[in-house]
């Protein structure tokens, strides 16, 4: 019998049946029947032999269950035994072989990356600063000669940073970071930094972080922070041990607090002592995030649940999100400035738009940026205008590896150039939304509703059985109520359906709740509070959680036809004169 280690070897299940990986389904069935007869426990008389046969028989059964199922066989051939332990979505079985293989191979890549990420948590950053001011320069030496302008583009600086983290235990983590950046004159004078880090979580509220440079000048940084639900207090100090008496440590004291109980507005203050500025640098900031939902009452969805992770959300992706205002003041002598920032984050699209403005005694700056944040990667672009010129920035991130490309278009403040340059990130956002984000939203909504339809209409699904059982339980009560209402010309429910609001992608998701509403009628009236979740009412089931839904009711009152469409957040009040069909 194979050892436990060999069970992880490739093609182990084929070896159990003594078949090659190219075996056909008929060969698998024949071999299974033959081996089952030989190793069936009931055919063994000796106890020890019977016990060994039982183990072998179970292995043969397991191998047959996997290899006789075309889908599980694909999973095993690509991912091995590890893939069999994962719960795969039912819709994957309905795809063709090539699509299944593509999904499995992608999962294998993602799973390997996730293991590596958890093991070492690698983080990298590459910054490549380009000076492209020659392209738009007005100097005589560049005028009329495009080749000279291209040759004038230079790599002004280049740096590479990479770090890894390793958790020693749930409270303690160590890390190592290396960084190399080009010198001030040429790339041959590059300088390097090697830094070690230690982070220890004393309690859920108290944490200590230490970093030390292994290369000269051996800079050491210590930081401790205490936080609770409403306050954060932090102290950070940086010093060079060998020059302790010559250069006092740079020390920062910071405090942040939630300002109001009924909002997320937060205020923060920090004071930093530096040898260059004995009076210290004082920073004051206030930020206020607030959720928004631009959907109508009939299309309302919870902002958190209707994101790409919780529900179908809106078609456009702009219906829900978070807007944040922040402002700050920095007092640092002639370098003092005030700052204002406004950002919009659209959760359904994972898209953030941000505008920042700074006004100081020596500097005026404005930055406009956009950033898309995915589960594994991110892409951002922006334009900055200041006294130091106009800079166009691009940023790409994948699996905690970041690439940054700042391009200097001019070393001087040029408002006209900045306005034209804003077209670059604007175009990127528009094109990215039209060709990537919007189709992605539609695909997510389509998958969501397809899954909901399968669960609703599948005869074996638990949701379907729950609907049928609820109707059976309420049938007698509903019939008695309707007989009583018909006899006196009262409220008679003809038909009622509960499901997603009119949406071509949500067709076929209405649940028949006629029996449930009939059972709720009392003395010619029906009332359901807006605070009562309809999905909790007997016979009401939610086929598409987080999607906006509507109750559609056709009924008779005093033998006259009525019809109503009632959004999910509105109370149900029947009968009403407004429902009368003329």
Digit-coded pLDDT (tens) for 35-76: 888 877 777 767 777 777 788 888 888 888 888 888 888 888
Choosing among 2.60.40.420, 1.10.287.110, 2.60.60.20, 1.10.530.10, the CATH entry for 4-94 is 1.10.287.110
Domain boundary assignment for the chain: 4-94, 459-579
CA-angle at 65, arms to 63 and 67, nearest 5°: 65
pTM: 0.68
Strand partners, 123: 163
Q: What is the 3-state secondary structure (H, E, C) of 201-263?
A: ECCCCEEEEEEEECCCCCCEEEEEEEECCCEEEEEEEEECHHHCCCCCCEEEEEEEEECCCCC
pLDDT at 298: 41
pLDDT at 187: 43
Q: In what order do the strands lie in the sheet with 491-500?
A: 511-512, 491-500, 549-557, 560-567
CA-angle at 567, arms to 564 and 573, nearest 5°: 50
Write out the chain's pLDDT in tens, 582 residues: 333 334 446 678 888 888 888 888 888 888 888 888 887 777 776 777 777 778 888 888 888 888 888 888 888 888 888 888 888 877 787 777 888 888 888 888 877 777 776 766 778 999 999 998 888 777 655 555 777 777 778 888 889 999 988 888 889 999 999 988 875 444 444 577 899 999 999 998 999 999 999 888 889 999 999 998 889 999 999 988 887 777 788 999 999 999 888 888 999 999 999 877 778 899 999 999 998 877 544 444 443 344 444 566 677 778 888 999 999 999 988 889 999 999 999 988 889 999 999 999 888 999 999 999 887 889 999 999 988 889 999 999 987 889 999 999 888 887 888 888 888 888 888 888 888 888 888 888 878 787 777 777 765 566 677 777 878 888 888 899 999 989 888 899 999 988 886 666 677 778 888 888 898 888 888 888 877 777 777 777 777 776 778 889 999 998 899 999 988 888 888 998 888 887
Contacts of 558 (CB under 8 A, 6+ apart): 489, 490
> Cα–Cα distances in Å, from 170 out to 72, 174, 197, 199?
36, 12, 16, 11
Digit-coded pLDDT (tens) for 84-101: 888 887 778 777 788 888
pLDDT at 463: 66
């Amino acid at each position: 019998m194979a050892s436990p280690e060999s069970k992880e070897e490739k093609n182990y299940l084929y070896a159990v049946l003594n078949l090659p990986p190219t075996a056909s389904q008929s060969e698998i069935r024949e071999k299974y029947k033959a081996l089952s007869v030989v190793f069936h426990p009931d055919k063994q008389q000796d106890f020890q032999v019977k016990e060994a046969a039982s183990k072998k028989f179970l292995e043969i059964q397991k191998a047959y269950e996997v290899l006789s199922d075309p889908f599980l066989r694909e999973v095993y051939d690509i991912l091995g035994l590890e893939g069999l332990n994962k719960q795969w979505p039912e819709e994957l079985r309905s795809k063709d072989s090539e699509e299944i293989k593509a999904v499995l191979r992608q999962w294998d890549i993602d799973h390997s990356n996730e293991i590596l990420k958890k093991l070492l948590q690698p983080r990298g950053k590459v910054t490549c600063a380009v000076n492209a001011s020659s392209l738009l320069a007005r100097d005589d030496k560049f005028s009329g000669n495009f080749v000279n302008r291209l040759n004038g583009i230079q790599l002004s600086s280049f740096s590479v940073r990479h770090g890894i983290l390793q958790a020693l235990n749930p409270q303690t983590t160590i890390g190592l970071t290396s960084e190399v950046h080009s010198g001030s004159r040429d790339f041959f004078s590059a300088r390097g930094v090697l830094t070690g880090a230690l982070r220890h979580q004393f309690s859920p509220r108290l944490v200590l972080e230490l970093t030390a440079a292994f290369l000269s000048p051996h800079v050491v940084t210590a930081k401790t922070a205490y936080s609770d639900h409403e306050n954060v207090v932090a102290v950070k100090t940086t010093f060079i041990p060998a020059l302790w008496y010559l250069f006092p440590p740079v020390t920062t004291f910071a405090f942040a607090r939630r300002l109001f109980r009924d909002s997320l507005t937060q205020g923060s203050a920090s004071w930093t002592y530096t040898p260059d500025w004995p009076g210290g640098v004082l920073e004051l900031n206030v930020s206020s995030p607030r959720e928004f939902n631009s959907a109508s009452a009939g299309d309302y969805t919870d902002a958190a649940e209707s994101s790409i992770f919780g529900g179908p959300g809106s078609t456009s992706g702009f219906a829900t999100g978070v807007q944040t205002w922040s402002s700050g003041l920095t007092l640092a002598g002639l370098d003092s400035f005030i700052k204002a920032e406004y950002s919009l984050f659209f959760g359904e699209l994972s898209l953030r738009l941000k505008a920042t403005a700074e006004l100081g005694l020596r500097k005026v700056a404005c930055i406009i940026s956009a950033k898309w944040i995915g589960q594994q990667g991110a892409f951002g672009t922006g334009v900055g205008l200041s006294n130091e010129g106009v800079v166009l920035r691009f940023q790409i991130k994948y699996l905690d590896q970041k690439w940054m490309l700042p391009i200097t278009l001019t070393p001087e403040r040029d408002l006209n150039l900045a306005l034209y340059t804003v077209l670059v990130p604007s175009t990127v956002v528009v094109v990215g939304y039209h060709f990537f984000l919007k189709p992605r939203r539609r695909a997510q909504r389509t998958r969501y509703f397809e899954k909901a339809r399968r669960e609703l209409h599948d005869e074996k699904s638990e949701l379907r059985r729950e609907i049928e059982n609820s109707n059976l339980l309420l049938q007698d009560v509903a019939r008695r109520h309707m007989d009583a209402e018909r006899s006196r010309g009262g409220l008679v429910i003809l038909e009622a359906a509960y499901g997603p609001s009119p949406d071509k992608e949500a067709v076929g998701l209405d649940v028949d709740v006629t029996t449930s509403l009939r059972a709720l009628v009392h003395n010619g009236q029906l009332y359901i509070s807006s605070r009562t979740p309809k999905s909790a009412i007997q016979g009401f089931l939610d086929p598409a959680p987080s999607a906006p839904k509507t109750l559609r009711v056709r009924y008779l009152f005093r033998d006259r036809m009525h019809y109503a469409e009632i959004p999910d957040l509105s109370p149900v009040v029947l009968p009403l004169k407004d429902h009368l069909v003329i």
